[in-house]
Structure 1
Amino acid sequence: MNFITAQELLQKIDAGEQFSIIDVREKEEVANGIIPGAKHIPLGQIETSFDQIDQTVPQYIVCKAGGRSAMACEILEENGYTVTNIVGGMQEWEGELQF
């Protein structure tokens, strides 16, 4: 599993790199803000949502602190996705938020 910090992710976004972000937090948590452009798929729905996840681009997975996103990364990696866990999660995010 690959790892990246929230700050490194922000740099990739600013550089215009092509990838997708999946936020695996629960609905109540996402109501407090999500990374702009991120797709919300709660951890419990990852295995039934493969049809919503593009396998041709890298996927960056975020949660509150990095634990649930690590679990989602394992599931996605086992199913052929290129994934990176955002360590520190939204607790470390300093970029814009979408509500």
Structure 2
Amino acid sequence: MFPEILPEEVERLLQEHKNICVLDVREAGEVAAGKIPGAMHLPLGQVLTRAKELDPDKEYIVVCRSGNRSSLACEWLTEKGLKVKNMTGGMNGWTGAAE
């Protein structure tokens, strides 16, 4: 299993300039409508084939629209030995800045 994090907590970490890695697993069209500033875009369908691009020494906060796809991505990435947290509620729960 993997831990979860609330959107408000992610926003607070960003405001405090913490060095966090946000991984957005939505599709390109969804990301074009706005994403968390600095988030890396890696569509869910490419997560397994591109997991080697992720740094195993970092912890990733995984984001989608509602929290379902990011939960699946977290399962897959955990199996690959990566450290992840699922942002509950996804971008639907995000009230912070977007780019």
Q: Same fold (TM over 0.5)?
A: yes
Q: Which segments of 5 or more consecutive residues in structure 1 lack a partner in the other structure?
A: none
Corresponding residue of 2:37: 36
Pairwise CA RMSD of aligned residues? 0.8
**Partner of 2:93 in structure 1?**
92
Match of 1:21?
A: 22
Partner SS state of residue 52, structure 2: helix
User: Size of the alignment, in residue pairs?
Assistant: 98
TM-score computed with the length of structure 1 as normaliser: 0.94
Structure 1 residue 57: Cα displacement = 1.1
Contact 1:18 1:57 in 2 (8 A): no
Q: Kindly, what percent of the aligned residue pairs are identical?
A: 40
Aligned-partner Cα distance in 1 for 2:22–2:7:
12
- Does the 8 Å contact 2:59/2:84 carry over to 1? yes
Q: What is the TM-score when the length of structure 2 is the normalising length? A: 0.94
Q: Where do 1:49-88 residues align within 5 Å?
A: 49-88=50-89
Instruction: Report the AA paired with residue 60 of structure 1.
Output: I
Question: Which residue in the other structure is 1:9 paired with?
Answer: 10
